[in-house]
Amino acid sequence: MKTILLIEDDTALRENTAELLELSDYNVITSPNGKVGITKAKEEKPDIIICDIMMPEVDGYGVLEALSYDVNTNHIPFIFLSAKTEHKEIRKGMDLGADDYLTKPFEEDELLSAVESRLAKSALLSKVVKDQQFSTTTNTSEDNGLRNLHELKNFFDDHGEISEFKKGAVVYEEGEHSNNIYLILKGVVKSHKMDENGKELITTLYKTDDFLGFTSFIDNTPYLESATAVEDSELAGISKNNLKEILEKSKNISLELMELLTENLSEIKEQLLQMAYSSVRKKTAQTILQFADVLNKKPKDNIKISRNDLASVAGIATESLIRTLSSFKKDGLIEIEGRNIKILDLPGLQLVE
């Protein structure tokens, strides 16, 4: 049985998280703060550590730093828990050597997936060390200093060309040379195309920490769609040639990036199926929920988004969208104040057919 050290100062969250892990057959040791957590880590030598960032006594950064200097604990996989969504806070933790992070509140499957993947990676690395089988690809990756997708994002943040785009500003247009790949540091960006009738169709919404602008690395393919800032945004861009060099040196990053792009493709296919076969009411409800998720809004927070953008994502006429929003308002599902939409009944909106 694997042992997990959970360091969290919120009593309710600590107890609930520990219970979830125990139900999945993990042995869980808990600590109410960083100072006690450091002591327990050195005494118990757990298989993995899950640690909150903002805590009294010693914060999560301090815990990770202290354990990194100890040869008995510096190899233990470390996952941060953070209520913060600012990329700088997450980057700081990854720069210090954390293996992963979860943003609170998190779902049970997110927690278990993070733990299982980090334990699996740790076991694989241990086997490699014991067998002394270091491939040329691994050595090259270590020389380059980039080991995983988080470190690739750090590279974008540290070495990319930073650009700021006001709401409505064009990041790139369909048909332009696709010289750069971007990482969104702040804000939301939409990718969109125009149909033969001149109607805009939003294909994807990208949020903070998402990559943007992928095209072929082999052919000089132009951008196949346009990208525009939905709100004030900050992007870091590097050239496709630089990214290609990084991917050629690191098999691990290439595989993680391939998995990420596959997940994105699956989401786009799901959206297209919804646009093709769902009712206008369901399309509208799912689009509101999608914007709330991308904009990182909680229930009853205002969602400020243009009706045209909502209709474009849903794949319906603006007039149909407005009528459906009025219907939702009468049903008590949402509240409308000018351009702002507030979700009043989240479960009800999720069940709209």
pLDDT tens-digit readout, 290-337: 777 777 666 667 777 778 777 777 777 888 888 888 888 888 888 888
Confidence (pTM)? 0.49
pLDDT tens-digit readout, 178-190: 888 999 998 889 8
Task: Please report the pLDDT score of residue 122 as a whole number.
Answer: 67
24: left (phi over 0), alpha (psi -120 to 50) or beta: alpha
Lowest mean pLDDT among 126-135, 218-227, 312-321: 126-135
Element (H, E) at 314: helix 307-314
User: Is the pLDDT assigned to residue 194 strictly greater than 60?
Assistant: yes
Q: How confident is the model at residue 96 (pLDDT cuts 50, 70, 90)?
A: low
In sequence order, what DSSP letters do the residues of 21-63 get, joined into one string? HHHTT-EEEEESSHHHHHHHHHHH--SEEEEESS-SSS-HHHH
User: Is the pLDDT assigned to residue 141 strictly greater than 80?
Assistant: no
pLDDT tens-digit readout, 1-29: 899 999 999 999 999 999 999 998 999 99
User: Is the pLDDT assigned to residue 206 strictly greater than 50?
Assistant: yes
pLDDT, averaged across the chain: 81
- How far out from the chain centre does Cα 330 lie? 34
Instruction: Give the long-range contacts of residues 257-265, CB within 8 A, separation 24 or more.
Output: 257/149, 257/152, 257/211, 260/149, 260/211, 261/214, 264/204
